[in-house]
Structure formats: C-alpha cells, structure tokens
Structure 1
C-alpha cells in the first residue's frame, strides 16, 4: 500500500514530522517498509535560482562563446561563460550556481564547479530546458518572462511537487487501511490516546451536494442480491473530459498512478482517498437508461477496456444495460463500449458493495488483477457508498463542469447491521498481558469509530464500524486496543513460565523441505504414487520379502511396494501417452518389506525419475538430453545441500532393473543407487525412451546429517589458484580412481578437483584416453607462490604416475 505524506495531511488536523509518522504507523501495525523522497522533477531544481543577464560580450578566445554578468539577487554579479546563441542582456534566466547539481534529461548528473573555459573563468551555468530536466529542448537557454523576480529559487517558480512516500506492508485483514483516510483514522486515534487530544479525520466535503435537475435518471435493479448487496449511483450531465489539474496529477503520480483524464483520475483519486472503488460509465451508452446487476449466460462475449474479447463465466457478476448487454465485470474491469472517452458528455457514477468471494474468483478467472478488485476482494465499507459517490460527483462538477442531473440512486435491499462484540476486561488482560483502564479502552474504541452499546466494570459491548469488516470476536477488539496503544508498548514480563514443546523428527521435515525446494527450482515436479502396487512387476526374489495384502480390493493392487521404481514408471507412462515427453519427477515415499509374520518394516526414501530432454531446443542449438551424468550431478548436489560431504560414487554390477549403475556409499552404507532403467523394464510399461532413476535412502541420509556439525568461519582473504593437468590413462579407468588417488595425498590446500575434458584418439594408443583435470588451491593465510603450487602439483603427479600408471602430458 502506497501512502503520500502530503495527501495524508489533507485529512489530519495536525502536522506530523515524516520520521515520527513512520514510527507511528509501524507502531499501530501499519509496518512502513520504505520511506522515500518524491520529486516531480528529479533533483527538485534544488540550488537553481532565477537570475538576470546584466551584460554580455564576446569571448576573447572563442567565436561561439559569450561572457555574461548575471545578477542572482544576492552578492556580486556572477561571471558565466555561455555557449547558447540566444543569450542577451536583460533576459531572466535559470542559473546553476557553483556547488549545484543538475539532472539533465539525458546523461548523468553534473555538479557545478568554478571552470576556466578558453582562459576565462566561469562561476556557474545559464541553463537550457533539457539541462535541468524540464523538456527535450536544447535550442538555447531558457528565457523567462520579464516580470519574474530575480533571486527566487527555480523550484518555487516552476512549482516542483515534492512529497514523502510510504510503502506500507498491510496484512490481508486491514482493508480499512487501504486508503489515505483509513490510515489517517489510525493516526488520529493514536495521537488522541497518547497526546490526550480529541482528533478526528476531516470529513468528506459533501455538504454542497445538490441536485441541479433530474434530466438524466438511471434506474438500477439488482438481480443477484448476494453478490451485490448495495448499489449507489448518480448522473452528471454536460461534463468536459480533459486533462486533470496539476494538483490532481501530482497526487496520483506521487503514488505511482498514471493520470489519464479528469473523470478517470477522479475515480482513482477517490479510490486512494476512501478505499471505495468507483466506476464511471458514459451515460449515453447505457441502453434503456437502466442498470442491471446480474449474471449472464456462460460464454457470453464481452469486450473489455483493453479491447480483448473475453467469454463471460456464468458465475461472473456483470453490470448490464437495460437490454441485458454487458457493460462491466462488476468490481473488476470495465467494458470498451461503455467507458469514458474524450467525447463523453454525460457520466453515470457507480459506487457499490460486491461480494469479496465473487470478485476474487472473477479477477483470477480472467487474469484481471485491478486496484478495484484488490479492494473489493478484501471487503469495502458498505455504509460509505453514498457519501463517496457524492464526493466524486462534486469533484467532477468542479473539474469537469456539468450539472448533477439525478437524485442519488441507492439500492440497498438488506441493510447490514453493525456487529456487536462483548469484551471482558479480564480477557483483555489475559490476551494482551497488560491492564488497561476502562476509560482508555473506551477512548480508543470511540476514536476508531466504534459505538459503545453497554459499559460496566467487568466488560464493554461495542458495535464495530462497517469500515472494519474483520471485527467479529473479542480478540479482534483486543488487537485494535493494542495497536493504538502501540505494539511497541506491550510489556515484557520479567519471567515467563511456559511448557516447552518438543517436536520429534524436526530435522526430517527441514531436510525434506530443503531437498524439495532444490528439486522444484531445478524443474522437477513432485509426484505422489500409490504405495499399493501390482505383484506382477516383481520377480520371486523381491516377492519373497514383499508385504502381501490379505483383502486387496483389486487384483492389480495386491502388495505394498518393495520398490518405488515401478509406481514412478506408471506416472511416466501416463504422461508420455499424453505427449508430455520431457519429465523430471521426484517423490518422497516409503517401501515395505517383511522377514516373516509380525516382522514388518518400512523405509523412507526419495526417488528421482528423469526422461526426455533436460534443456529445450533453442535458437542457439538443440536441447540437452537427460543422461546418467545429469542424474549423478543432481544426487551429488542433494547430498551437498543436506551437509553430507564424505559420500563416494562407484560403479557396481547392474541389478534391480538398472544398467550403468552407480552406488553412493558412506562407511560402506549404501545411501543411494542410481542408473538407467533396463529396456526390459521399460517394455513392461510400454516406454520407448530412456528413463534414469535414483533411489536415495532418506532415513540413512538423516543419520549422517545428524552426525554432522555446522561450523562457521571467516571468508578467505586470499584468491584461489587454479592449475590444469592432462594425463593419459587406460580407457577403463574411472575418474573416481583419479579423485581418490589425489585425495589420499592429503594436500590440505587443495579445494577442489574438476574433470573438464575427455579426449580419445588412436594417436594416444590402444585403449587409452586423455583426461584434463583442474585443481584449485587456496591458502587462507597467504598468497601461495609458484614454488608452493609446483610442489603440490608434483606430489599429485607422482601419486598419479605411481598408483595409476598415468602418463602426464606436458
């Protein structure tokens, strides 16, 4: 929520310093997330003054330069060298004095200094319009009218609008603060309570509202009284649609709104003033001079203000004309055929209350997230529709001319009653932890617009204002009292007595969420498959320890799954049959086994399934197909994220329906198995493209995670050093052997080992390959010398030559 300091003070009876106001707002629960200076022109023309050129003469060393003497209203006249062709004595000009920073329309800011230009000193600059950001004009210096007073600040002459802008982080229940008047109400309540005053928000200026004639009556009928409980409106005839006055444009721009025309700007102004959305119709386009609030048939075409045709849903509440033709998505977005245009002469203003649920559904259904929709979906003040429409009508009359040409129509079939809430003072003490005097409670409530219905020594009964539709319970009133007292004033007791809650297996949930977040960020989708599966998927060895169901409901679902591979392949087949060919799935689940009657066990696992491309085709080239190396990288990263650092990957004989199988072990415990699903298993599920699968033992992961301790240390002050090494080794040698060999050398300054190239050629010899490996060293104490690095590299090369018979390429 964006709030303007200047605008807010239009409704406050006192002036508050911007910084104090920021703290006050946060104290009452309207958290100020940022406070920034706003200037309608960058820099605000600060330091620029109006001057008068007293004399001019040719520059002695430059034909196109002029030496001027300029009076700026104080001190001696300034000598300024000017390059503009139109400078002349007697002109009133804008002067940037030494030390002033100007902000050109194009280019970087420039600070004035004493300069020597072709041998002549210059004490400032006579400015053109583009040089101070006023326009793009650079034809010459800006010449002002002769009657302009010399010495006044340029900001005063050009009436630069400045303001302070607050960004407030509102909680969803605080719709009453989604406007300047709503925020002002809280400010007045706070000051009244703490400064012992009786401050009230200035009333809306509607006393002068008078109906000039009734030449333009618009009848209103509400057919869906649940979705629209109140509808108010009024007609204004003879208006002129034009540009808004500067004050209105400044207010809207300050809070990030773009001025459009006086009619639309007034509705936006009222929205941010009161929180009540309005809609202005071209009255001449309302057929039959009648407004119907109703639902239309499913699929009814409707062209909205953005010139897009949308199909109306049967649940969308629509504003229609007398012929039941749609004019507007109620409370969400207007229609192209009924909106205000430059030729509009007669306006019908709508001020209504629409059901928040209906508005939110329509807004999301059609992807129309408008300011009006965000207000209606949080509920607006149903008691204020008439006052607001009167206020808007008077502003239209003032800024657009015309006459109020109808009585205010107000259809309100079932008036809403103010909810009454009983608050016991004992409950207030219990919930707030503070004892409030009864007089203080009543003062706060009255200042917020509550009506005191009943008062006693034990309790108070208050009727909540309809501007606060979230007030229904005693706890809601406690919150209001604590807000105005100031959340910073909640007393902290010297001792707190609590029964600590112990959550078992908390680490499990933390690491499960961390793993899920990483995989989702990588493009994986989480799946949930049935833990009961088909026994025909498994061989006799697997079925010998499987948990069989005695009363299975289906022949296809008769055992608890001993493996999660098969249920995942079912999900992949389902997607591939629907042309979803590139899939990355993950699933947290359990596998089940038994060692005999009464000896049942279940194991928590996280499994990954990948098929198709992991990178789409693009103009740069073809996409990347999934493979075992991609899957290995994902598994390694999961282990790294969860703090498991000592795991080792090693190839193992193919089994369990996998080929090219790798096992991940820690201290001989198998923490994960990954590989490519066999063609026989793929054929069982009618899959025709490769699938890669990883099965991580989540319980075993948690065991090693809990054994790790987190250590913090300073970031290194030195830069890492990288050295590359190429070696020829047997083609069958896995890179893991190279890693293990290097790690056994135990060089503590070696940070990482990275394989970045594999080269195979007959020139290397039969069954040979070349590996290119990078080694990264880091000495946290000092910058290592070449001699230090060479010594470590020699140890690595000796180990590789001795243990792996590697041939180092030099």
Structure 2
C-alpha cells in the first residue's frame, strides 16, 4: 500500500514529521517498508533564481551566441553566454548560477561552473524548460511574467510538488488501512491512546452542496441479485467538461504511482485512495432507457472490456447493465469499452456500490483482472461509506469539471446490514496479549477505532464492530486491535519461560529429513523448492482423471495441484540448462495430490534429479555422464542412512520411466527410480538424459516408526566375507540372486554384493559369471568356519536349484 505524507496529513489534526509518522505506523502494525522523498520536478528547482536580462549583445566569435548580463538580485549582474534565439533585454528568465545543479528531462544532472565559451566568460545559464525538468520545449529560454522580482527562488514561483511516500506492508486482513483516511484513523487512535483522550479525530473533507442542473436526468436503479450486491448508489451529473485535472490532483495521484488520465477518472481514483471506496463513472449516453440493472448475464455472453479485449462471461459474473440488458461493466472489477468516460462525454452516471467479496474475487481471478477496485472489494469495503464516497466524488466533479447534479442521490439498500457484535473479558485480552492493560485503556483504544460499547460488566464487555473492519469477528481480533494501537513494541518480554518437555515418536520426522538432506548436500546436491500448482498440459488424460483441479487458477498455466513431482522438477532442470548450467544434482521434499473416493489425498515425497556429468573434467580423470548406476548409488546410500540393509528390487512397467525399478521394504514400494523418457524430456525442451528417483516419504517414515534399527551400536566382533562365482544365463538379473539369497533364512548373513560381471564364450552360449560376496556377522560372538560353511552350502544348493547356476571353482 502506497501512502502520501502530504495527503495523509490533510486528515490529521496534528502534523508529525515523516520520520515520526513512519515510527508510529510501524508501531501500530502498518509496517513501513520504505520511506522515500517524492519530487514532481527532479531537484525541486533548488538554487535556480529569477533573473532580469539587462543587456544582450552579439558574441564577437560566434554568430548564434549572445553575450548577456543578468540581474539576479544579488549584487553584480552575471555575465552569461546564451545560445537561445529568443533572448532579449527586459525579459524575466530562470537562471542557474554557478554551483547550481540542474536536472534535464533527458541526460545526466549538470552542475554549473565558471566557463569560457568561445573566449568569453559565462557565469551560469539562462534555462529552457526542458533543461530544468519543467516541460519538453527546447525552442528557447523560458520567458516569465514581467512582474516577477529578480532574485526570487524559482521554487517559489513554480512551486513544484514535494512529498514523502510510505510503502506499507499490509497484511491481507487490513482492508481498513487501504486508504489514506483509514490510515489516519489508526494514527488518531494511537495519539489518543498516548494521551488517554479522544481529542484526536480524523479531519474529514468538507462536502459542498451540489449545484443543481436546469434539466433533470433521472436514471433508475434495480438490483436483481441482492446477495452479490447488497447496496448500490448513484447520481446523475450533467454538463461536465472532460479535461486534464488541476495540478494539485495530478500531484496527489502521481506521488502514489497512479497515472493521471482526465478530471473525471482522476477523481474516482482519488476517492478510491482517499476513502477506500471504488467508484465508476458511466457515460450517461450509454445508459439506455435511463436504467441501471445489476444482474447476471447468461454464460458465454461476450463483453468487451476497457482494454478492448472480448471476454466470455460466466453465469456467476455480476454485471452492471443498462435498460436494454446490455452489459456496461463487470461489477466491481473492470469497466466496458463502450460505456466509459471519453473526451466527448458531457453527462455521467456516477456509481458507488458494495459487492460481495467472494463473488468479486472469483470473477477477478477467472478473467485475470487484478484491478485496484477488485483488490478492495474482494477484501470487503465499508458498506456504510458508500454514500459518503459518492457525495465526495460528486462534489469534486462538479467543482473541477463544471458539472451539475441532475438527480438526487439514489441509494438502493434493500436489507440494511447489521453490525457484528463481539463479547470478551478484560482478563482474556490481558492473558492472550501478554500485556497488563488497564480496563480504561482497552475501552479507550476500541472507542478511538470506532467500536461502540454496547454492554459492560466488571469482568468484560460487548462491542459492535465498525463496518470498516469486516475481518473482526472474534475476541482474539479485539486483542490484536488493542495490542497494535498501544504499540506492539510495548509488550514486555518475560525474563524466563516455563515449559513442559513434550515427548514425540521416535525417530523424529524432522530429524530424519535433516539427516537425509545433510547427506545429499554434502554430496553435491542442491535443494530446490518447486510450485505445487502446475500445468495440466504436462499430464495424460488418465492422470488428470484423479488430479486436483484449481477452482480459481491464477493463470491458465497453473490450473492443477501436481499429481507427481517429476514435471515441476523438470521445469527447474530446463531453466538451469537454458542458462548453461548443465551438470545438475537436485533434491526436493514435496507433496503430490490426488482425488480420492472420499475427499482428497496428499503424499509426501523425496525426489532426486540427476543430469549432466558425474564430476568435473580434469587432466587426471575424464568425466563420464550420470547414469542409472550413479543414481542407484545415492538411493541405496540414503536407504542405508535410514538403517535399511535388506530390500527387494522389482522391475516397474507402469512408472513412466525407462528403465524403471521399484525398491521394496517389507513388501512396500518405498522408492521408484529410472530414466526420464525422451517424450517427457521433449515437453520441456531438454536435450540430455535426466535420471529420476522418488521416495514415498510417508511409507519411509511409517516403516521407521515401527523399526528398531535406526540407531545401532557398532558390533564388537569381526565380520567374515566369502565369495562365490556363479555361472548363469544372461537373462538372470542380480535381483534374482538377491531374492534367492534372502530365501535362505540365516541371521548370520548380513550383506550380499555383486563385485564383478564376466562374459566369455568359454563360459558357454548365453552365459555370464557373477562374482558375489557374502558378509557374515554374529553380534554376540566370533563366527567359526563350520557355521559359515553351513550357510554357504545352503546358498549354493539354492542357487543351483532356483537359478540353475553353476559354481565356478
């Protein structure tokens, strides 16, 4: 939220300095993120003075230059060489003496120095308007009113606007502070609290009586959808002259970053930022049959908005229509191309209304129209402020455009809204806030903010909430109001805190996550965070059947909650590859979402993305690309970090990876890994291989909670290794060897590992040899050869029976 210091001070009974006001705003919860000086003219004409040209003679060494002497009211006249063709004796001009810095519209600032131009001394400059930022003309020097006195500062003559601009970081619930008057109310409440008084009140602008038009222009108002529009007010004004706004109005809007357009539109924008109430002005010629109807139009109805784009309306979009049923404006969001104020407008119908916050928010997001009006309506404007803002705007329009009121104010308010009531106790406020507030201070703060005390007991009270604060409905909301107006920095911080330690299930989920993240970061991985809202075009129709779709998507590219982690990660991979960052090791903790038979489901994941080279190329080692086995190594190490040493590998034909493997622990799939298919990579314009692994983190944690092997003591006894060379068919994968090994039940066998693969015709047709190591350990004692040989014999028989293996001697 942008607030002008000068504008805000118009409503304050006192005028703190910008720095004091910045401190006050931050103390009451309106955090000032920046405070900057605003200058309508860069430099504000500092150092420039009014001068009188005393003499103007031809330069002896240049045909287009003149030698002048100029009286600047400071003793001896200045000798200035001037190249302007219109310089003449007796003119009052703007002079930049030596030492003055000027700020041209184009180019860098320039500080005046004593100089010689073609052999003649020059003690400054006689200025054109573009040279000092007052305009675009460079046809000659500025010639001013002859009555001006030499030596008068130029800033006193032109009075360039100066201001201080506050950027306030508003929280979403603070719609009451989305205007200058709203902020002024908080400041006055703070001042009242400091002095325990009620003398500081917002100085509301005077509303002058409206001049009456000779001929009436009566326009009726009908609300067909009173749920979406509980209140609608308007007035007809005739004889307006659409023209540029006066300088004071332009300066107010320009200071807060709003571009002036014309006096009518500028006044509606001014009232928006003054009161927080959006307004809209219609060209009365577009209000056919002199009737305004607030209603919904059929779905698919085309409507051309102010930006000349045709939009298809939804049946839920509330519209402001004329008597012929034609849409003139998307209510509370955006005006129409054919009903707005133009240079040819002479009669207007001015609207001020209250629209349902939910409906405006839905329509605004649906059409991608995030306007200032929609931003305020969707948070809930002050329904009691509708007519005041209309009167204020009508008064300014009549004053600045020459218009006259051609009707009384129409106010259609079929069901008067009742104020919310909140009841609480003084002890509750003190307990929840941690502040020892006296009862009178609490009541004084709430009264200063516009709350009305309805009932009071020794223990507590009941208040009605002003319509300007639609977010307040609970006792805790009152606590927040008291705390911030008294000053958030006034809450005492206790010297000690007493807590009871809480017991949690072991191992702790956050500790497990941190352990894995530390391992990956130590091995060169970077953690990424991708958007859980993604683009439906990435997925097949089968996947989208169970995808969670966004009701109000921010853009057409972000319309579903991600059903898998792969695609959002590939966006990050593509982003890096497009910037020549080609060797990537990424990991991410995130969630996927799906529609269930009853409600929705979400699953936690850890995912890995690998692409590019394994290590940087050096003179000693050539680099090799990452591959399935490089990925597999990290996956296995992560499982081992978590205490798992026994798991089952199984091919997966439905994972959408090539190749694709599942790793199972206790018959549950905990990891799926493989290569990203070429078709998927093409979707993201990725031209190099990407390897992907996804851990079902919920299952990982669930199994850990039931396991006692997360922390284990280092064994005291020595492990024993035995090796076997197995001759097998080439079709037999090592996973089958592992499965056969597990079928031999032995508490001594701790680990099986493939350390060599050999293929040769000497082994026989379609044969290969696996060199496999077996590690044995008894944590209670030293193993004997007899015990180990017994298990090895069982293993050999199993391999021969199940895999038709031959044991190489």
**Alignment partner, residue 37 of structure 1:** 37
1:495–1:148 distance in 2 versus 1, CA, 3 Å: same
> Per-residue displacement from partner, 1:42-88 (whole Å, max 9, x unpaired)?
22111111111222444455454333322212233222232333333
2:43 match: secondary structure: coil
The yes-or-no answer on 1:13 pairing with 2:6 is no
Q: Is the 8 A contact 1:176 1:468 kept in 2?
A: yes
**Alignment partner, residue 251 of structure 1:** 252
The yes-or-no answer on 1:68 pairing with 2:63 is no
Q: Is the 8 A contact 1:214 1:406 kept in 2?
A: no
**Alignment partner, residue 510 of structure 2:** 506
**Alignment partner, residue 485 of structure 1:** 486
CA drift of 1:210 comes to 6.8
* Aligned counterparts of 2:44 and 2:450: Cα–Cα separation in 1: 40
1:524–1:379 distance in 2 versus 1, CA, 3 Å: closer
2:90 match: secondary structure: coil
* Aligned counterparts of 1:494 and 1:522: Cα–Cα separation in 2: 42
**Alignment partner, residue 693 of structure 1:** 691
* Aligned counterparts of 2:225 and 2:173: Cα–Cα separation in 1: 26
Spell out the pairing of 1:562-641 with structure 2 (5 A cutoff).
606-608=607-609, 629=625
Spell out the pairing of 1:728-807 with structure 2 (5 A cutoff).
none
Q: Number of residues paired by the alignment?
A: 605
* Aligned counterparts of 1:106 and 1:280: Cα–Cα separation in 2: 37
2:218 match: secondary structure: coil
Q: Is the 8 A contact 1:39 1:160 kept in 2?
A: yes
**Alignment partner, residue 87 of structure 2:** 87
* Aligned counterparts of 2:461 and 2:564: Cα–Cα separation in 1: 61
1:604–1:170 distance in 2 versus 1, CA, 3 Å: closer
**Alignment partner, residue 112 of structure 1:** 112
CA drift of 1:349 comes to 1.1
2:315 match: secondary structure: coil
CA drift of 1:142 comes to 2.0
* Aligned counterparts of 2:340 and 2:288: Cα–Cα separation in 1: 14
1:427–1:610 distance in 2 versus 1, CA, 3 Å: same
**Alignment partner, residue 381 of structure 2:** 380
1:442–1:129 distance in 2 versus 1, CA, 3 Å: same
Structure 1 stretches lacking a partner, 5+ long: 534-566, 573-581, 591-602, 612-627, 643-653, 663-670, 683-688, 708-810
Q: Is the 8 A contact 1:49 1:154 kept in 2?
A: yes
1:452 match: secondary structure: strand
**Alignment partner, residue 164 of structure 1:** 164
CA drift of 1:200 comes to 0.6
Spell out the pairing of 1:57-206 with structure 2 (5 A cutoff).
57-197=57-197, 198-206=199-207
* Aligned counterparts of 2:97 and 2:319: Cα–Cα separation in 1: 60
* Aligned counterparts of 1:528 and 1:139: Cα–Cα separation in 2: 60
Greater CA drift, 498-507 or 270-279: 498-507
Q: Is the 8 A contact 2:54 2:70 kept in 1?
A: yes
**Alignment partner, residue 722 of structure 1:** none
2:203 match: secondary structure: coil
**Alignment partner, residue 317 of structure 1:** 318
CA drift of 1:95 comes to 1.0
1:427–1:68 distance in 2 versus 1, CA, 3 Å: same
1:385–1:633 distance in 2 versus 1, CA, 3 Å: farther
**Alignment partner, residue 221 of structure 2:** 220
2:294 match: secondary structure: strand
* Aligned counterparts of 2:87 and 2:659: Cα–Cα separation in 1: 84
1:55 match: secondary structure: strand
**Alignment partner, residue 650 of structure 1:** none
**Alignment partner, residue 458 of structure 1:** 459
> Per-residue displacement from partner, 1:415-452 (whole Å, max 9, x unpaired)?
11111111201001101111212221121111111111
CA drift of 1:253 comes to 0.9
CA drift of 1:173 comes to 0.4
1:214–1:568 distance in 2 versus 1, CA, 3 Å: closer
Q: Is the 8 A contact 1:676 1:693 kept in 2?
A: yes
1:260–1:571 distance in 2 versus 1, CA, 3 Å: closer
Q: Is the 8 A contact 1:525 1:586 kept in 2?
A: no
Q: Is the 8 A contact 2:587 2:606 kept in 1?
A: no
**Alignment partner, residue 476 of structure 2:** 475
Structure 2 stretches lacking a partner, 5+ long: 544-562, 569-577, 579-583, 592-603, 613-623, 639-649, 662-669, 681-686, 705-709, 712-809
* Aligned counterparts of 2:280 and 2:483: Cα–Cα separation in 1: 37
* Aligned counterparts of 2:453 and 2:297: Cα–Cα separation in 1: 44
* Aligned counterparts of 1:661 and 1:114: Cα–Cα separation in 2: 80
CA drift of 1:696 comes to 7.2
1:678–1:20 distance in 2 versus 1, CA, 3 Å: closer
**Alignment partner, residue 260 of structure 1:** 261
The yes-or-no answer on 1:518 pairing with 2:516 is no
Greater CA drift, 341-350 or 516-525: 516-525
Q: Is the 8 A contact 1:193 1:484 kept in 2?
A: yes
1:211–1:460 distance in 2 versus 1, CA, 3 Å: farther
Q: Is the 8 A contact 2:676 2:692 kept in 1?
A: no
CA drift of 1:141 comes to 2.2
**Alignment partner, residue 737 of structure 1:** none
Please report the TM-score for the alignment, with normalisation by the length of structure 2: 0.67
**Alignment partner, residue 795 of structure 1:** none
* Aligned counterparts of 1:215 and 1:468: Cα–Cα separation in 2: 37
Q: Is the 8 A contact 1:527 1:586 kept in 2?
A: no
**Alignment partner, residue 54 of structure 1:** 54
* Aligned counterparts of 1:239 and 1:98: Cα–Cα separation in 2: 48
Q: Is the 8 A contact 1:211 1:407 kept in 2?
A: no
CA drift of 1:179 comes to 0.4
Q: Is the 8 A contact 1:677 1:690 kept in 2?
A: no
**Alignment partner, residue 347 of structure 1:** 348
* Aligned counterparts of 1:522 and 1:427: Cα–Cα separation in 2: 39
